Every structure is written in C-alpha cells, then in structure tokens.
Amino acid sequence: MTSPETPELDRLLTTAAAAADPAGGFGWLDEHGQRTPGKVPETWVVARMTHVFGLAAAWGRPGAAELAEHGRQALVGMLRDDEHGGWWSDAHRTGPKQAYVHAFVVLAGATLTRVGLPGGPELLADALQVWDEHFWDDDAGAAVEEWDAAWTTCSDYRGANANMHGVEAQLAAADALASRGDDARAAQLRDRSRRITERLVGEARDRDWRLPEHYDPAWTALPEFNRDAPADPFRPYGVTVGHQFEWARLIAHLGTVVDLEPWLLDASTQLYRVAVQRGGAPDGQPGFVYTLDWADRPVVTARMHWVMAEALAAAAVLGAVTGEAGYRADHEHWSNLVELLVLDTRTGNWHHELTPEGQVGHTTWTGQPDAYHVAQALLLPRLPVTSSVAESVVRAAGVNPAR
C-alpha cells in the first residue's frame, strides 16, 4: 500500500484531530488549534472533517478511522432531523435546510463508502434520498438552494456555490456506487454533474469567463446580489476567484468519466487562466484576492486560505491532465508563497485569512476550522486524476475496499 501522506499533511491532520468534540462531531478550531468554547459543531465542518479522516483511513493513518466514525455518528445522530428528514445547519438544530450543507453530507457518505468504512453506505443512501427529493430540480438541471426546516417553502435564491459542491459530491457518490456495482445510478449522478457544469460554466463563457454566483428561480443571473455584503463567506458579491479555480479542477475530474463537449474542456483552462490573470496580485500584493467586480477590479482584497488551496489543487490536476509545464511552474511558485505567508507553523494548518500585507485578518473568517481544502491541495499532486479524491486515494493505496 502506498501512502500519499507527507509531513505537511501529517501536521494538518494532527491539528484537525483536536477538533473532535467529546459531545459529538468536530468543533471550530481557533488560531491556536484549540476548539472554540461555546461554539457548537456546524454540519458542513463535521461532514468535511469526516470526509478528510475517511480519506486518511484509506491509507492506514492511525486513528483516522475512529475519527471518521466520530464524525459519522454526529451526522446520523445529533445533526440529523429525525422528524422531517435531512440535516440541520449545526448542533443547535435550528434554521433552514441548505443544499450546501447537504452536499457535504453526501460527500462524507460517499467517501466512507468508497474507502470501505462501516456505516458509509447507509449514510450515503440517506443523504442521496434527501438530495433527490428536496434539492435536485431535474427540469433546471441543477439544485435548489434552501428550504425551511419542515420542507414546506423553498427559497427563491439559486446559488452556484452549492451546485459546485453538488457536482463534487455527486461525482464522489457515483464512484462509491459504481464500486459496489450500481453503474446505472452512478451514470445518472455523473450526468447530473455534467448538466450543472454546462449550465453554470456556460454562464461564465458568455461573460468572458466571469462566473456568476447568484441567480433567481428562473436561473437568471443576479450580478448585483450582496453588493452591500461583499465579504460574505458563502455568498459574496461579484466574481469569486477561488471558485474559478475550483470549477477548472472539477471539469477535469468530470472529464475522466463523462464525454464532455470541446467547449467545456476548453473552459477548464480558460477559467484557470482568468483566475490567475485577474485574481492574482491585482493590488500589487502577493496572492489571490477573494473577489472581483464585473470589470475585474478587486472588491474584497483579503487573501483566503481556501483560494490558494484551490489554485494549487487546480494546477496539480490540470498539470497532470495536460502535461503542460506551466501548471507545474505555477504550483511550485504558489507552494513557495504558502511557505512564506500562509502556513501557520504553530498549528500545521494555514492561516484562513490574511490581509494583502500578509497579516492575519478577520474580515470573513476567524480561527482555523477547516482542513478540507488544504488536505485536498496536499493530496492531489500525489494522486492519479480520477473523478473524486476518494477514488484517487483508493487507487493510490492499491486496494478496492468497497468490492
């Protein structure tokens, strides 16, 4: 068995393990790598951590399977709404039912299933049933965004962010189900991912590769949405540079299992190119800004850790797919920048937000709660390119536990 773990990934996972809350799930780590007192586990964090530790269990990291099970228990227990179905946003068990949150529950279930951990298939089946019944809109070829707790009223808002992670989750679920012999269901989920990608990336193509994030119920873009709240962590105004990189990578993953039209294959390199050219140091400071306006001017100039992580991940995947040296050069350059500015040597995680001058910022994020983006950025350069990270990890490990 070949392990893709590196010293950097080891330090990250060691810190991430400290997020395990004895009361259930994973808490919110502060800038010292300690759980924040009084802050209850959030479902998207728990699902992402479960995914990450599920991956680590596949290559035999000590304690990873137990941590993945710790996350799964929270997802099937305190975070699940047993009355109405689906998942709460956090352990307070209030608020709406969100596609973004449910996409990560699907991802967690898919990863646990693909790497052969107990309870994975049941969690995946439950999460996909909720996704199918409440979020997937087959007429639109995309997912709706949000329901009230009892699933009686659907929000008018439609979002690219939740759908982007829906693509990721559905591709992972398809790999998990295909590994268990359900090729028909896998093909359906991959086709859904293609339809979402064609819709949203097609919008970007029509706007010179500026990808709108916000839409009305008819899927008409709302370019001025949240102009008065530009630093929103999930629905910021304008063009989100990190999502350009993320879509570029997801298209490459999708292309390993679905025959894509030539324009969509080209879109992968175009989205990457404009993210680099428009989002990289437009204010003269190193790194990528969070958002741009529709004339490519910086809006939120904070440097978010996940944007750099997705830039590195996209460079690794596109470099492997195309063989072009420019992607490898980008990856090396940005890796050096991480070492200089982004890496927190005390915790092994990355500073989640920096000012343009390189100081720790708090405009959008506090603490270091998320290991998902960084773990994948560290893993993908060491893995074969497939349609999901779990599939790539399993193949690199040389086993097929789901069979």
Q: Is residue 6 part of a domain?
A: no
Contact yes or no for 299/291 (Cβ under 8 A): yes
Q: Is residue 3 assigned to a domain?
A: no
**pLDDT tens per residue across span 17-47:** 999 999 999 999 999 999 999 999 999 999 9
Q: Is the pLDDT of residue 253 over 80?
A: yes
pLDDT at 2: 76
Helix then strand count (H, E) for the chain reads: 13, 10
Residue 1 domain-assigned? Answer: no
Confidence band of 90 (pLDDT split at 50, 70, 90): very high
pLDDT at 120: 98
pLDDT at 93: 95
Longest dimension (CA), the chain: 54
pLDDT at position 259 over 70: yes
List, for residues 268-287, the tens digit of each pLDDT value.
999 999 999 999 999 999 99
The tens digit of pLDDT for each residue in 333-347 reads 999 999 999 999 999
CATH number at residue 260: 1.50.10.10
In a domain, 352, yes or no: yes
Q: Across residues 227-232, what is the average pLDDT?
A: 95
Tell me if 2 is assigned to some domain.
no
pLDDT in tens, 349-403: 999 999 999 999 999 999 999 999 999 999 999 999 999 999 999 999 887 775 5
Quickly count: other Cβ atoms within 10 Å of residue 395's Cβ.
14
Domain that holds residue 232: 12-397
Q: What is the pLDDT of residues 106-165, one digit of tens each?
A: 999 999 999 999 999 999 999 999 999 999 999 999 999 999 999 999 999 999 999 999
> Which residues lie across from 154 on neighbouring strands?
147
Provide the whole-model pTM: 0.98
Into how many domains does the chain fold?
Answer: 1
**What is the 8-class DSSP label of residue 381?**
G
Residues serving a catalytic function are 243, 373
Rounded to an integer, what is the distance from CA 107 to the centroid of its chain? 9
- Does 5 reside within a domain? no
Locus of tokens 């929270």: 74
Residue 165 lies in a domain: yes
Alpha helices (runs of H) in 18-117, residue ranges in sequence order: 43-58, 64-76, 99-114
Is 134 part of any domain? yes
Which ranges in 115-179 belong to alpha helices (H)?
120-130, 160-179
Helix, strand, coil in percent for the chain, rounding step 5:
50, 10, 40
